[in-house]
Structure 1
Amino acid sequence: MKTFLILFLCLSAGLSSLQAQVIHGVVRDSVTEEPVSFANVTLLKKDRGVSCDVEGRFEFDLNDEKDDLLISSVGYENKVISPQSYKGELYIALVQKALVLNEVVIDYKKKKYSGTKHLGLSRKYKVQKSIPFGTEFCSYIENTEYKEGKVKAVYLDLKNEKEFDYQASYNIRFYEYDKLEKKPGKELYGQNLMVFPDNKTYELKIDVDSLNIIFPRNGICVGVEVINTRYEGKLKSMAVVAPRILFTHTERKIITWNRYRNKEWRIGTTKSQVREDFVNAMINIDVVIEK
Protein backbone atom coordinates (compact mmCIF):
# COMPACT_ATOMS: atom_id res chain seq x y z
CA MET A 1 0.00 0.00 0.00
CA LYS A 2 2.82 2.35 0.91
CA THR A 3 4.62 1.59 -2.37
CA PHE A 4 1.41 2.20 -4.30
CA LEU A 5 0.92 5.57 -2.57
CA ILE A 6 4.48 6.68 -3.40
CA LEU A 7 4.02 5.60 -7.02
CA PHE A 8 0.70 7.45 -7.21
CA LEU A 9 2.23 10.64 -5.81
CA CYS A 10 5.12 10.44 -8.28
CA LEU A 11 2.75 10.01 -11.20
CA SER A 12 0.60 12.89 -9.97
CA ALA A 13 3.66 15.11 -9.65
CA GLY A 14 4.74 14.11 -13.15
CA LEU A 15 1.31 14.96 -14.60
CA SER A 16 1.25 18.29 -12.78
CA SER A 17 4.70 19.08 -14.12
CA LEU A 18 3.51 18.19 -17.62
CA GLN A 19 0.41 20.35 -17.35
CA ALA A 20 2.42 23.25 -15.94
CA GLN A 21 5.10 23.10 -18.63
CA VAL A 22 5.97 26.55 -19.93
CA ILE A 23 7.91 26.98 -23.15
CA HIS A 24 9.58 30.18 -24.25
CA GLY A 25 11.60 31.26 -27.23
CA VAL A 26 12.24 33.79 -29.96
CA VAL A 27 11.17 33.96 -33.62
CA ARG A 28 13.59 35.50 -36.10
CA ASP A 29 14.03 36.01 -39.84
CA SER A 30 16.08 33.13 -41.26
CA VAL A 31 18.30 35.47 -43.31
CA THR A 32 18.58 38.75 -41.44
CA GLU A 33 18.13 37.21 -37.96
CA GLU A 34 15.99 40.21 -37.10
CA PRO A 35 13.09 39.48 -34.72
CA VAL A 36 9.71 38.72 -36.32
CA SER A 37 7.45 40.99 -34.29
CA PHE A 38 3.99 39.74 -33.35
CA ALA A 39 4.42 36.29 -34.95
CA ASN A 40 1.73 33.79 -33.95
CA VAL A 41 2.54 30.65 -31.93
CA THR A 42 -0.40 28.25 -31.65
CA LEU A 43 -1.31 24.60 -31.18
CA LEU A 44 -2.38 22.72 -34.29
CA LYS A 45 -5.12 20.68 -32.63
CA LYS A 46 -6.60 23.42 -30.46
CA ASP A 47 -7.36 27.10 -30.85
CA ARG A 48 -4.93 28.18 -28.17
CA GLY A 49 -1.78 30.22 -28.59
CA VAL A 50 0.07 33.49 -28.09
CA SER A 51 1.60 36.34 -30.04
CA CYS A 52 5.27 37.24 -29.90
CA ASP A 53 6.21 40.66 -28.60
CA VAL A 54 7.96 43.32 -30.66
CA GLU A 55 11.29 41.52 -30.06
CA GLY A 56 9.91 38.25 -31.41
CA ARG A 57 9.84 36.63 -27.96
CA PHE A 58 7.03 34.48 -26.57
CA GLU A 59 6.08 32.43 -23.52
CA PHE A 60 3.39 29.77 -23.66
CA ASP A 61 1.77 27.48 -21.07
CA LEU A 62 1.73 24.08 -22.76
CA ASN A 63 -0.90 21.63 -21.48
CA ASP A 64 -0.46 18.95 -24.16
CA GLU A 65 3.11 18.34 -25.24
CA LYS A 66 1.96 15.87 -27.89
CA ASP A 67 0.50 18.69 -29.98
CA ASP A 68 2.60 20.33 -32.69
CA LEU A 69 3.18 24.09 -32.69
CA LEU A 70 2.39 26.26 -35.70
CA ILE A 71 4.50 29.42 -36.02
CA SER A 72 3.35 31.98 -38.59
CA SER A 73 3.57 35.64 -39.53
CA VAL A 74 2.65 37.96 -42.37
CA GLY A 75 5.03 37.55 -45.32
CA TYR A 76 6.60 34.31 -44.04
CA GLU A 77 6.15 30.62 -44.71
CA ASN A 78 4.42 28.77 -41.89
CA LYS A 79 6.59 26.50 -39.75
CA VAL A 80 5.52 23.49 -37.66
CA ILE A 81 7.67 22.09 -34.86
CA SER A 82 7.13 18.83 -33.00
CA PRO A 83 7.00 18.26 -29.22
CA GLN A 84 10.57 16.92 -29.28
CA SER A 85 11.70 20.51 -29.87
CA TYR A 86 10.20 21.78 -26.61
CA LYS A 87 13.46 21.87 -24.65
CA GLY A 88 15.17 24.97 -23.31
CA GLU A 89 14.68 28.25 -25.12
CA LEU A 90 13.34 27.73 -28.62
CA TYR A 91 15.01 29.54 -31.52
CA ILE A 92 12.65 29.52 -34.50
CA ALA A 93 13.73 30.85 -37.89
CA LEU A 94 10.99 31.77 -40.37
CA VAL A 95 11.65 31.90 -44.12
CA GLN A 96 10.26 34.79 -46.11
CA LYS A 97 7.80 33.83 -48.82
CA ALA A 98 9.44 33.53 -52.21
CA LEU A 99 6.91 35.87 -53.81
CA VAL A 100 7.84 39.53 -53.61
CA LEU A 101 4.32 40.76 -53.00
CA ASN A 102 4.65 44.27 -54.37
CA GLU A 103 6.89 43.57 -57.35
CA VAL A 104 3.91 43.91 -59.71
CA VAL A 105 3.13 47.38 -58.38
CA ILE A 106 5.12 49.55 -60.77
CA ASP A 107 4.72 53.01 -62.25
CA TYR A 108 1.59 53.80 -60.28
CA LYS A 109 2.21 57.52 -60.76
CA LYS A 110 2.15 57.09 -64.55
CA LYS A 111 -1.26 55.42 -64.55
CA LYS A 112 -4.51 57.31 -64.83
CA TYR A 113 -7.22 56.63 -62.28
CA SER A 114 -10.84 57.39 -61.68
CA GLY A 115 -11.93 59.52 -58.76
CA THR A 116 -12.03 57.89 -55.34
CA LYS A 117 -14.77 55.29 -54.89
CA HIS A 118 -16.06 54.21 -51.45
CA LEU A 119 -16.88 50.49 -51.36
CA GLY A 120 -18.18 48.10 -48.75
CA LEU A 121 -21.33 47.31 -46.80
CA SER A 122 -24.15 49.56 -45.65
CA ARG A 123 -24.03 50.88 -42.09
CA LYS A 124 -27.70 50.05 -41.41
CA TYR A 125 -28.72 47.64 -38.64
CA LYS A 126 -25.37 47.40 -36.89
CA VAL A 127 -24.26 44.45 -34.74
CA GLN A 128 -21.61 44.90 -32.03
CA LYS A 129 -18.94 42.26 -31.50
CA SER A 130 -16.03 41.87 -29.10
CA ILE A 131 -13.35 39.92 -30.98
CA PRO A 132 -10.84 38.00 -28.79
CA PHE A 133 -7.08 38.22 -29.18
CA GLY A 134 -5.67 35.92 -31.84
CA THR A 135 -8.76 36.05 -34.05
CA GLU A 136 -8.73 37.50 -37.55
CA PHE A 137 -11.92 38.32 -39.41
CA CYS A 138 -11.95 39.10 -43.10
CA SER A 139 -14.49 40.57 -45.50
CA TYR A 140 -14.76 40.33 -49.29
CA ILE A 141 -15.29 43.61 -51.15
CA GLU A 142 -16.42 43.28 -54.75
CA ASN A 143 -14.82 45.18 -57.64
CA THR A 144 -17.85 46.21 -59.69
CA GLU A 145 -15.68 47.88 -62.36
CA TYR A 146 -13.68 44.68 -63.07
CA LYS A 147 -10.60 46.83 -63.63
CA GLU A 148 -7.44 46.87 -61.54
CA GLY A 149 -6.91 49.72 -59.13
CA LYS A 150 -5.33 50.45 -55.78
CA VAL A 151 -6.56 50.79 -52.22
CA LYS A 152 -6.33 54.24 -50.64
CA ALA A 153 -7.93 53.75 -47.22
CA VAL A 154 -9.67 51.23 -44.97
CA TYR A 155 -12.54 52.12 -42.62
CA LEU A 156 -13.75 50.34 -39.47
CA ASP A 157 -16.76 51.31 -37.37
CA LEU A 158 -15.96 50.98 -33.67
CA LYS A 159 -18.04 51.23 -30.48
CA ASN A 160 -16.68 52.09 -27.07
CA GLU A 161 -16.81 49.41 -24.36
CA LYS A 162 -17.50 50.75 -20.86
CA GLU A 163 -16.39 47.62 -19.03
CA PHE A 164 -13.56 45.63 -20.58
CA ASP A 165 -10.51 43.55 -19.68
CA TYR A 166 -8.07 44.50 -22.40
CA GLN A 167 -7.64 47.04 -25.18
CA ALA A 168 -6.79 45.64 -28.58
CA SER A 169 -4.42 46.48 -31.40
CA TYR A 170 -5.23 45.60 -35.01
CA ASN A 171 -3.10 44.16 -37.78
CA ILE A 172 -4.69 45.07 -41.13
CA ARG A 173 -4.17 42.47 -43.86
CA PHE A 174 -5.01 42.19 -47.57
CA TYR A 175 -5.72 39.11 -49.72
CA GLU A 176 -6.81 38.17 -53.20
CA TYR A 177 -10.23 36.53 -53.41
CA ASP A 178 -9.89 32.84 -54.31
CA LYS A 179 -12.86 32.30 -56.65
CA LEU A 180 -12.46 28.51 -56.72
CA GLU A 181 -12.25 28.03 -52.95
CA LYS A 182 -14.57 30.97 -52.28
CA LYS A 183 -12.43 32.39 -49.48
CA PRO A 184 -9.41 34.67 -48.93
CA GLY A 185 -6.40 33.60 -50.97
CA LYS A 186 -2.87 34.90 -51.54
CA GLU A 187 -1.53 37.82 -49.51
CA LEU A 188 -1.32 41.14 -51.33
CA TYR A 189 0.82 42.95 -48.76
CA GLY A 190 3.59 41.18 -46.88
CA GLN A 191 4.15 43.32 -43.79
CA ASN A 192 2.39 44.02 -40.53
CA LEU A 193 0.20 47.11 -40.69
CA MET A 194 -0.37 47.90 -37.02
CA VAL A 195 -3.22 50.11 -35.81
CA PHE A 196 -3.90 51.15 -32.21
CA PRO A 197 -7.58 52.12 -31.93
CA ASP A 198 -9.02 54.29 -29.19
CA ASN A 199 -11.77 52.83 -27.03
CA LYS A 200 -14.48 55.17 -28.27
CA THR A 201 -17.35 55.25 -30.75
CA TYR A 202 -16.03 56.48 -34.08
CA GLU A 203 -15.13 55.59 -37.65
CA LEU A 204 -11.47 54.64 -37.79
CA LYS A 205 -9.80 55.57 -41.08
CA ILE A 206 -6.55 53.79 -41.98
CA ASP A 207 -4.63 55.53 -44.76
CA VAL A 208 -2.80 53.01 -46.99
CA ASP A 209 -2.40 55.10 -50.15
CA SER A 210 1.42 55.13 -49.96
CA LEU A 211 1.61 51.30 -49.65
CA ASN A 212 0.50 50.67 -53.26
CA ILE A 213 -1.84 47.82 -52.40
CA ILE A 214 -3.50 46.39 -55.49
CA PHE A 215 -7.27 46.33 -55.80
CA PRO A 216 -7.64 43.24 -58.04
CA ARG A 217 -10.19 42.89 -60.83
CA ASN A 218 -12.14 40.27 -58.91
CA GLY A 219 -12.18 42.26 -55.67
CA ILE A 220 -10.24 42.10 -52.44
CA CYS A 221 -10.47 40.51 -49.00
CA VAL A 222 -9.51 42.83 -46.15
CA GLY A 223 -8.65 41.23 -42.81
CA VAL A 224 -8.45 42.60 -39.27
CA GLU A 225 -6.33 40.55 -36.86
CA VAL A 226 -6.99 41.42 -33.21
CA ILE A 227 -3.71 41.19 -31.30
CA ASN A 228 -2.16 42.03 -27.96
CA THR A 229 0.65 44.59 -27.98
CA ARG A 230 -0.05 46.19 -24.58
CA TYR A 231 -0.13 43.44 -21.93
CA GLU A 232 2.48 41.01 -20.59
CA GLY A 233 2.05 37.70 -18.84
CA LYS A 234 -0.82 35.24 -19.02
CA LEU A 235 -4.12 36.81 -20.05
CA LYS A 236 -7.41 35.52 -18.72
CA SER A 237 -9.68 33.57 -21.05
CA MET A 238 -13.17 34.73 -22.09
CA ALA A 239 -12.00 38.33 -21.71
CA VAL A 240 -13.81 41.35 -23.12
CA VAL A 241 -11.63 43.18 -25.63
CA ALA A 242 -12.27 46.85 -26.45
CA PRO A 243 -13.33 48.63 -28.55
CA ARG A 244 -16.23 46.64 -30.00
CA ILE A 245 -16.22 46.16 -33.77
CA LEU A 246 -19.42 46.80 -35.70
CA PHE A 247 -20.74 44.21 -38.15
CA THR A 248 -23.92 44.76 -40.19
CA HIS A 249 -27.01 42.99 -41.55
CA THR A 250 -26.92 42.03 -45.22
CA GLU A 251 -28.82 39.96 -47.72
CA ARG A 252 -28.02 36.26 -47.78
CA LYS A 253 -24.41 36.03 -48.96
CA ILE A 254 -21.18 34.63 -47.51
CA ILE A 255 -18.54 37.35 -47.57
CA THR A 256 -17.00 37.06 -44.09
CA TRP A 257 -14.49 34.53 -42.77
CA ASN A 258 -12.51 34.16 -39.57
CA ARG A 259 -9.58 32.15 -38.31
CA TYR A 260 -7.41 31.75 -35.24
CA ARG A 261 -3.74 32.77 -35.50
CA ASN A 262 -3.26 32.10 -39.22
CA LYS A 263 -4.91 28.67 -39.22
CA GLU A 264 -7.55 27.60 -41.77
CA TRP A 265 -10.29 30.05 -42.71
CA ARG A 266 -13.82 29.29 -41.51
CA ILE A 267 -17.05 30.88 -42.70
CA GLY A 268 -17.76 33.85 -40.45
CA THR A 269 -21.08 34.93 -41.97
CA THR A 270 -23.84 34.20 -39.45
CA LYS A 271 -27.64 34.22 -39.39
CA SER A 272 -29.13 37.26 -37.67
CA GLN A 273 -30.89 36.63 -34.37
CA VAL A 274 -33.31 39.53 -34.82
CA ARG A 275 -33.91 39.86 -38.58
CA GLU A 276 -34.37 37.70 -41.66
CA ASP A 277 -30.87 38.69 -42.73
CA PHE A 278 -27.28 37.58 -42.42
CA VAL A 279 -24.52 39.29 -40.43
CA ASN A 280 -21.22 40.20 -42.12
CA ALA A 281 -18.13 42.20 -41.24
CA MET A 282 -18.52 45.89 -42.04
CA ILE A 283 -15.18 46.84 -43.56
CA ASN A 284 -15.19 49.69 -46.08
CA ILE A 285 -12.46 50.91 -48.40
CA ASP A 286 -11.59 53.84 -50.65
CA VAL A 287 -10.15 52.83 -54.02
CA VAL A 288 -9.17 54.36 -57.34
CA ILE A 289 -9.71 52.41 -60.56
CA GLU A 290 -7.57 52.48 -63.71
CA LYS A 291 -9.19 54.33 -66.60
Structure 2
Amino acid sequence: MKKIPKCSLAFPAAIVALGLHGAIAQAAMQSQVEPAGLVIEDVGAGERINFAGKLRMLSQRISASACYYVNGVGGDGSRSALTTSTAEFEKIVKALQYGDESIGIIGPEERRKTLVQIEKLQAVWGPIKTASEAILEGDDHQANILHIAENNMPLLDEAKLLVSEIVGQYSNPAEMLQSDAMLIDISGRQRMLTQKMSKESCGISTKINAMGSADALTGTMNMFETSLIALKDGFPNAGINPPPTDEIQAGLDVVYEDWTTAKAKLETVVAGGQLSVDQMNAIFDGLNVTLKDMNDVVMLYTAAAKSAI
Protein backbone atom coordinates (compact mmCIF):
# COMPACT_ATOMS: atom_id res chain seq x y z
CA MET A 1 0.00 0.00 0.00
CA LYS A 2 1.47 3.35 -1.02
CA LYS A 3 1.88 5.75 1.90
CA ILE A 4 1.05 9.41 1.47
CA PRO A 5 3.76 11.78 2.72
CA LYS A 6 2.72 13.29 6.03
CA CYS A 7 1.74 16.94 6.03
CA SER A 8 2.70 19.31 8.81
CA LEU A 9 -0.70 19.66 10.47
CA ALA A 10 -1.19 17.26 13.40
CA PHE A 11 -3.95 14.72 12.89
CA PRO A 12 -5.89 15.38 16.11
CA ALA A 13 -6.26 19.12 15.46
CA ALA A 14 -7.86 18.58 12.07
CA ILE A 15 -9.88 15.49 12.86
CA VAL A 16 -11.29 16.86 16.11
CA ALA A 17 -12.40 19.89 14.09
CA LEU A 18 -15.12 17.66 12.74
CA GLY A 19 -17.00 18.21 15.97
CA LEU A 20 -18.58 14.77 15.63
CA HIS A 21 -16.61 12.64 18.08
CA GLY A 22 -18.96 13.70 20.87
CA ALA A 23 -22.06 12.88 18.85
CA ILE A 24 -20.74 9.47 17.84
CA ALA A 25 -19.46 8.63 21.32
CA GLN A 26 -22.77 9.67 22.85
CA ALA A 27 -24.62 7.51 20.36
CA ALA A 28 -22.38 4.59 21.25
CA MET A 29 -23.11 4.99 24.98
CA GLN A 30 -26.84 5.38 24.48
CA SER A 31 -27.26 2.57 21.94
CA GLN A 32 -28.06 -0.84 23.39
CA VAL A 33 -27.92 -4.28 21.82
CA GLU A 34 -31.33 -4.90 20.27
CA PRO A 35 -33.40 -7.76 21.71
CA ALA A 36 -33.26 -11.01 19.77
CA GLY A 37 -35.96 -11.26 17.14
CA LEU A 38 -36.56 -7.50 16.93
CA VAL A 39 -37.10 -6.37 13.35
CA ILE A 40 -35.01 -3.30 12.51
CA GLU A 41 -36.70 -0.97 10.05
CA ASP A 42 -34.46 0.40 7.30
CA VAL A 43 -34.88 4.17 7.37
CA GLY A 44 -31.83 4.87 5.21
CA ALA A 45 -29.41 5.71 8.04
CA GLY A 46 -26.34 5.73 5.79
CA GLU A 47 -28.14 7.76 3.14
CA ARG A 48 -29.30 10.31 5.71
CA ILE A 49 -25.74 10.81 6.95
CA ASN A 50 -24.39 10.92 3.39
CA PHE A 51 -26.93 13.43 2.07
CA ALA A 52 -26.87 15.60 5.19
CA GLY A 53 -23.12 15.75 4.72
CA LYS A 54 -23.63 16.66 1.09
CA LEU A 55 -25.44 19.84 2.17
CA ARG A 56 -22.12 21.06 3.56
CA MET A 57 -20.52 20.55 0.16
CA LEU A 58 -23.39 22.18 -1.70
CA SER A 59 -23.25 25.29 0.51
CA GLN A 60 -19.71 25.81 -0.76
CA ARG A 61 -20.31 24.64 -4.33
CA ILE A 62 -23.12 27.17 -4.73
CA SER A 63 -20.80 29.90 -3.45
CA ALA A 64 -17.87 28.84 -5.63
CA SER A 65 -19.87 28.43 -8.83
CA ALA A 66 -21.66 31.77 -8.26
CA CYS A 67 -18.29 33.48 -7.80
CA TYR A 68 -16.84 31.96 -10.96
CA TYR A 69 -20.00 32.55 -12.99
CA VAL A 70 -20.37 36.26 -12.20
CA ASN A 71 -16.68 36.74 -13.04
CA GLY A 72 -16.94 35.00 -16.41
CA VAL A 73 -14.99 31.89 -15.42
CA GLY A 74 -16.05 28.34 -16.17
CA GLY A 75 -18.43 29.23 -18.99
CA ASP A 76 -21.47 26.99 -19.13
CA GLY A 77 -19.84 24.80 -16.46
CA SER A 78 -20.09 27.36 -13.68
CA ARG A 79 -23.67 28.24 -14.63
CA SER A 80 -24.63 24.57 -14.73
CA ALA A 81 -22.95 23.94 -11.37
CA LEU A 82 -24.85 26.82 -9.79
CA THR A 83 -28.15 25.62 -11.27
CA THR A 84 -27.81 21.98 -10.29
CA SER A 85 -26.34 22.68 -6.85
CA THR A 86 -29.16 25.05 -5.92
CA ALA A 87 -31.77 22.50 -7.01
CA GLU A 88 -30.02 19.62 -5.25
CA PHE A 89 -29.69 21.51 -1.96
CA GLU A 90 -33.44 22.14 -1.98
CA LYS A 91 -34.17 18.50 -2.86
CA ILE A 92 -32.00 17.12 -0.04
CA VAL A 93 -33.45 19.43 2.62
CA LYS A 94 -36.95 18.31 1.68
CA ALA A 95 -35.86 14.66 1.61
CA LEU A 96 -34.37 14.87 5.11
CA GLN A 97 -37.59 16.46 6.36
CA TYR A 98 -40.22 14.44 4.49
CA GLY A 99 -38.35 11.40 3.12
CA ASP A 100 -37.52 10.55 -0.48
CA GLU A 101 -37.25 6.89 -1.41
CA SER A 102 -35.70 7.81 -4.77
CA ILE A 103 -32.47 8.66 -2.91
CA GLY A 104 -32.84 6.02 -0.20
CA ILE A 105 -34.23 8.19 2.61
CA ILE A 106 -37.17 6.18 3.89
CA GLY A 107 -40.01 8.03 5.60
CA PRO A 108 -40.26 11.51 7.15
CA GLU A 109 -38.07 12.70 9.98
CA GLU A 110 -39.84 12.32 13.33
CA ARG A 111 -37.26 13.45 15.89
CA ARG A 112 -38.14 16.96 17.05
CA LYS A 113 -34.56 18.07 17.69
CA THR A 114 -33.53 17.14 14.17
CA LEU A 115 -36.57 18.89 12.68
CA VAL A 116 -35.73 22.07 14.60
CA GLN A 117 -32.22 22.04 13.14
CA ILE A 118 -33.63 21.53 9.63
CA GLU A 119 -35.81 24.60 10.17
CA LYS A 120 -32.79 26.64 11.29
CA LEU A 121 -30.95 25.56 8.17
CA GLN A 122 -33.89 26.54 5.98
CA ALA A 123 -33.99 30.03 7.51
CA VAL A 124 -30.47 30.72 6.22
CA TRP A 125 -30.95 28.77 3.00
CA GLY A 126 -34.05 30.60 1.75
CA PRO A 127 -32.39 33.97 1.02
CA ILE A 128 -29.31 32.26 -0.49
CA LYS A 129 -31.57 30.24 -2.78
CA THR A 130 -33.29 33.47 -3.86
CA ALA A 131 -29.93 35.16 -4.53
CA SER A 132 -28.68 32.17 -6.52
CA GLU A 133 -31.78 32.07 -8.68
CA ALA A 134 -31.58 35.84 -9.22
CA ILE A 135 -27.99 35.53 -10.47
CA LEU A 136 -29.07 32.83 -12.91
CA GLU A 137 -31.87 35.10 -14.14
CA GLY A 138 -29.42 37.98 -14.72
CA ASP A 139 -30.51 40.18 -11.80
CA ASP A 140 -28.12 42.49 -9.90
CA HIS A 141 -25.08 40.25 -9.71
CA GLN A 142 -23.19 42.48 -7.25
CA ALA A 143 -25.84 42.53 -4.49
CA ASN A 144 -26.65 38.84 -4.86
CA ILE A 145 -23.08 37.58 -4.95
CA LEU A 146 -22.36 39.73 -1.88
CA HIS A 147 -25.26 38.10 -0.03
CA ILE A 148 -23.97 34.63 -0.90
CA ALA A 149 -20.42 35.63 0.04
CA GLU A 150 -21.49 36.92 3.45
CA ASN A 151 -23.90 34.10 4.31
CA ASN A 152 -22.42 30.88 2.89
CA MET A 153 -20.43 30.22 6.06
CA PRO A 154 -23.47 30.59 8.35
CA LEU A 155 -25.22 28.14 6.00
CA LEU A 156 -22.27 25.76 6.28
CA ASP A 157 -22.37 26.09 10.09
CA GLU A 158 -26.06 25.15 10.19
CA ALA A 159 -25.40 22.22 7.86
CA LYS A 160 -22.61 21.00 10.17
CA LEU A 161 -24.98 21.13 13.15
CA LEU A 162 -27.55 19.14 11.19
CA VAL A 163 -24.95 16.51 10.30
CA SER A 164 -23.99 16.23 13.97
CA GLU A 165 -27.64 15.67 14.94
CA ILE A 166 -28.17 13.07 12.23
CA VAL A 167 -24.93 11.17 12.96
CA GLY A 168 -25.82 10.98 16.65
CA GLN A 169 -29.35 9.91 15.83
CA TYR A 170 -28.74 7.30 13.15
CA SER A 171 -25.43 5.70 14.11
CA ASN A 172 -27.30 2.89 15.89
CA PRO A 173 -25.28 -0.37 15.98
CA ALA A 174 -28.41 -2.22 14.81
CA GLU A 175 -28.38 -0.11 11.63
CA MET A 176 -24.82 1.21 11.30
CA LEU A 177 -21.55 0.95 13.24
CA GLN A 178 -20.27 4.18 14.77
CA SER A 179 -16.92 3.68 13.03
CA ASP A 180 -18.70 3.43 9.68
CA ALA A 181 -20.73 6.55 10.41
CA MET A 182 -17.49 8.41 11.05
CA LEU A 183 -15.94 7.22 7.79
CA ILE A 184 -18.99 8.31 5.81
CA ASP A 185 -18.97 11.69 7.53
CA ILE A 186 -15.25 12.42 7.16
CA SER A 187 -15.17 11.31 3.52
CA GLY A 188 -18.32 13.39 2.97
CA ARG A 189 -16.64 16.39 4.52
CA GLN A 190 -13.83 16.01 1.98
CA ARG A 191 -16.37 16.79 -0.75
CA MET A 192 -17.19 20.05 1.00
CA LEU A 193 -13.52 20.97 1.38
CA THR A 194 -12.91 20.68 -2.38
CA GLN A 195 -15.57 23.32 -2.97
CA LYS A 196 -14.50 25.47 -0.04
CA MET A 197 -11.01 25.61 -1.58
CA SER A 198 -12.56 26.45 -4.94
CA LYS A 199 -14.63 29.25 -3.39
CA GLU A 200 -11.71 30.66 -1.43
CA SER A 201 -9.46 30.58 -4.50
CA CYS A 202 -12.08 32.48 -6.51
CA GLY A 203 -12.59 34.99 -3.72
CA ILE A 204 -8.87 35.71 -3.47
CA SER A 205 -8.44 35.97 -7.23
CA THR A 206 -11.44 38.26 -7.76
CA LYS A 207 -10.99 40.35 -4.58
CA ILE A 208 -14.31 39.24 -3.06
CA ASN A 209 -12.88 39.27 0.44
CA ALA A 210 -15.86 37.62 2.10
CA MET A 211 -15.31 34.55 -0.11
CA GLY A 212 -11.85 33.77 1.18
CA SER A 213 -8.34 34.74 2.24
CA ALA A 214 -4.89 33.19 1.92
CA ASP A 215 -5.00 32.10 5.57
CA ALA A 216 -8.42 30.50 5.16
CA LEU A 217 -7.36 28.67 2.00
CA THR A 218 -4.20 27.39 3.68
CA GLY A 219 -6.24 26.03 6.58
CA THR A 220 -8.71 24.32 4.24
CA MET A 221 -5.89 22.76 2.24
CA ASN A 222 -4.25 21.41 5.41
CA MET A 223 -7.52 19.97 6.65
CA PHE A 224 -8.23 18.26 3.33
CA GLU A 225 -4.76 16.71 3.17
CA THR A 226 -4.76 15.62 6.80
CA SER A 227 -8.16 13.96 6.47
CA LEU A 228 -7.16 12.27 3.21
CA ILE A 229 -4.11 10.76 4.89
CA ALA A 230 -6.25 9.58 7.82
CA LEU A 231 -8.77 7.94 5.49
CA LYS A 232 -6.10 6.32 3.35
CA ASP A 233 -3.77 5.05 6.08
CA GLY A 234 -6.15 4.89 9.01
CA PHE A 235 -5.79 6.80 12.26
CA PRO A 236 -6.98 4.53 15.12
CA ASN A 237 -6.36 7.12 17.87
CA ALA A 238 -9.07 9.25 16.26
CA GLY A 239 -11.35 6.26 15.64
CA ILE A 240 -10.66 6.19 11.89
CA ASN A 241 -10.19 2.72 10.42
CA PRO A 242 -8.18 2.01 7.24
CA PRO A 243 -10.20 1.52 4.03
CA PRO A 244 -12.48 -1.51 4.53
CA THR A 245 -12.32 -2.63 0.88
CA ASP A 246 -9.78 -2.64 -1.94
CA GLU A 247 -12.24 -0.62 -4.02
CA ILE A 248 -12.28 2.18 -1.46
CA GLN A 249 -8.49 2.07 -1.24
CA ALA A 250 -8.26 2.43 -5.02
CA GLY A 251 -10.73 5.30 -4.96
CA LEU A 252 -8.67 7.15 -2.36
CA ASP A 253 -5.56 6.62 -4.51
CA VAL A 254 -7.36 8.40 -7.36
CA VAL A 255 -8.34 11.27 -5.06
CA TYR A 256 -4.75 11.62 -3.91
CA GLU A 257 -3.57 11.91 -7.50
CA ASP A 258 -6.21 14.59 -8.08
CA TRP A 259 -5.05 16.39 -4.96
CA THR A 260 -1.39 16.39 -5.99
CA THR A 261 -2.32 18.30 -9.15
CA ALA A 262 -4.77 20.69 -7.48
CA LYS A 263 -2.48 21.49 -4.56
CA ALA A 264 0.24 22.90 -6.80
CA LYS A 265 -2.23 25.32 -8.41
CA LEU A 266 -3.69 26.38 -5.07
CA GLU A 267 -0.25 27.10 -3.66
CA THR A 268 0.13 29.73 -6.40
CA VAL A 269 -3.05 31.42 -5.15
CA VAL A 270 -1.85 31.34 -1.53
CA ALA A 271 1.46 32.87 -2.59
CA GLY A 272 -0.39 35.82 -4.12
CA GLY A 273 0.31 34.99 -7.74
CA GLN A 274 -1.86 36.70 -10.34
CA LEU A 275 -4.03 34.11 -12.09
CA SER A 276 -5.17 34.24 -15.67
CA VAL A 277 -8.72 33.24 -16.60
CA ASP A 278 -7.31 29.97 -17.94
CA GLN A 279 -5.62 29.26 -14.61
CA MET A 280 -8.84 30.02 -12.73
CA ASN A 281 -10.67 27.68 -15.10
CA ALA A 282 -8.10 24.97 -14.35
CA ILE A 283 -8.69 25.31 -10.59
CA PHE A 284 -12.47 25.28 -11.02
CA ASP A 285 -12.38 22.22 -13.28
CA GLY A 286 -9.71 20.38 -11.31
CA LEU A 287 -11.44 20.66 -7.95
CA ASN A 288 -14.70 19.55 -9.57
CA VAL A 289 -12.90 16.39 -10.72
CA THR A 290 -11.66 15.85 -7.16
CA LEU A 291 -15.21 16.37 -5.92
CA LYS A 292 -16.56 13.73 -8.31
CA ASP A 293 -13.90 11.20 -7.35
CA MET A 294 -14.40 11.89 -3.64
CA ASN A 295 -18.14 11.48 -4.03
CA ASP A 296 -17.54 8.05 -5.58
CA VAL A 297 -15.58 7.11 -2.44
CA VAL A 298 -18.40 8.32 -0.17
CA MET A 299 -20.87 6.11 -2.00
CA LEU A 300 -18.51 3.14 -1.59
CA TYR A 301 -18.25 3.81 2.16
CA THR A 302 -22.04 4.00 2.40
CA ALA A 303 -22.44 0.67 0.58
CA ALA A 304 -19.73 -0.96 2.73
CA ALA A 305 -21.48 0.22 5.90
CA LYS A 306 -24.72 -1.48 4.82
CA SER A 307 -22.94 -4.75 4.06
CA ALA A 308 -21.17 -4.73 7.43
CA ILE A 309 -24.40 -5.11 9.44
TM bracket (short chain): under 0.3
The structure that is strand-richer by fraction is 1
The structure that is helix-richer by fraction is 2
Greater CA radius of gyration, 1 or 2? 1
Higher RCO by CA contacts (8 Å cutoff, separation 6 or greater): 2
